[in-house]
Structure 1
């Protein structure tokens, strides 16, 4: 019970748990380890982003390629993201939006979260693949969206569709979804040096989804999905 005070109880706060397994075999050489250590790290946290985000569509560097480990919560996946993300932050962006490694024409995910859009009143997110993390928050948000009666599509989102849609009004919302990020609204998307800005409206679908998700997370409503576990 000595650790109880580490668990915050303020609005939107939580205690973040991260399971981790890594190799511990004492040897040199290029070989898969036969010995591993499993551990669980934890710490208090607030939502990763406190304000609507300004993101850059990455058209040069790649986070993951087909045939790799991009679908998994693998520490090595972060290595390729470090340099382009740092450059984006130096340019005034909060995150990058990754595109496919071959053509850089298709949106995949953001640096710290999956990503979704509202296009023609439909909640749209890129389909899972071996380069997109199968996020538990992504799955939860899609399930809640369907329960709310929102139309949902898991399909390819092209960079050009995003640019034209924001300017033409068919793309009305963009948001990240992740364990640490919860649901993070995206206000500005920079594509090839041009900023495309979305209006942040409190009546937006993403905010209703966030309210529903947080109500379950914080025990304010009945968890009919069996997502929560008492520890």
Structure 2
């Protein structure tokens, strides 16, 4: 795993932009970020980021507001939160450590990247692969209501987080307002299983990297 980060180094205590910074890259061998199928909760009280803010960036401050709600969720038995919009908590935004992606009615849907949603590299990769495989992809506002209804009706056939560390993290159940909805066994999901196998094969060199995603370091 490669973790780049940067911090200000000007010798001052005031609140102002720095003119100098230190850039550091940490690397290390890691296992799966999530070792099991995720039990997630849709968060409708706390907010991770808002329109007009820095939610689109990998800024340390974005994680600060998420830690306490995430800890509460873990204490309740959940593995991750699905964050919703700050204004009305009616639309899906991100998962705690990954972009949220769903297969609903045979289409890949994911919230539109913007001020409060990171435009993740793995997210873009999944979208590209889906289009190459002839799948309809919709980047648009994704309401909590349609995800819950899809889970109830069975039209929601896949749900997962996509991220550099998380890779493809399958969601096993989604909870909302005290109700828990269980999804299809991840091993039986055609799309996310295919994406995960394809990405792993490209990373390990057992399948051609036709997109130039791999770099020699």
TM-score class normalised by the smaller sequence = over 0.9
Q: Partner of 1:212 in structure 2?
A: 198
Q: 1:19-66 CA deviation, whole Å, 9 max, x = no partner?
A: 111101111211111111011011111111111100010000000011
RMSD: 0.9
Q: Which residue of 2 aligns with 1:83?
A: 68
| Partner residue in 1 for 2:180 | 195
**Residue matched to 2:107:** 122
Question: 4+ residue runs of structure 1 moved beyond 6 angstroms?
Answer: none
Please tell me whether the aligned partners of residues 144 and 212 of structure 1 are also in contact (alpha carbons under 8 angstroms).
no
1:180-201 alpha-carbon deviations (Å, 9 max, x no partner)? 1100100110001110110114
Question: CA offsets per residue over residues 178-229 of structure 1, 9 Å max, x none?
Answer: 0011001001100011101101142421110111111111111111111110
Instruction: Please give the alpha-carbon distance, in whole angstroms, between the structure 1 residues aligned to 2:128 and 2:89.
Output: 29
Aligned residues: 216
Query: What residue number does 1:224 align with?
Result: 210
Aligned pairs for 1:43-62 (under 5 A) are 43-62=28-47
Name the structure 2 match of 1:135: 120
Q: Match for residue 7 of structure 1?
A: none
- Is the CA contact (8 Å cut-off) linking 2:170 and 2:186 kept in structure 1? no
Is the Cα contact below 8 Å between 1:68 and 1:130 reproduced in 2? yes
Q: In the alignment, what sits opposite 1:34?
A: 19
Name which of structure 1's ranges 92-101 and 41-50 shifts more when overlaid on structure 2: 41-50
Tell me, yes or no, if the aligned pair for 2:172 and 2:186 is still in contact at 8 Å: no
Aligned with 2:56: secondary structure? coil
Matched position secondary structure for 1:202: helix
1:76-114 CA deviation, whole Å, 9 max, x = no partner? Answer: 110010000000000000000000000100000100000
Q: Which runs of 5+ in 1 are unaligned?
A: 1-15
The two structures have a TM-score, normalised by structure 1, of 0.91
8 Å Cα contact 1:141/1:213 also seen in 2: no
- Pairing partner for 2:137 from 152, 164, 170: 152
Distance between the aligned counterparts of 1:124 and 1:161, measured in 2? 11
Which deviates the most, 213-222 or 90-99? Answer: 213-222
> Match for residue 18 of structure 1?
3
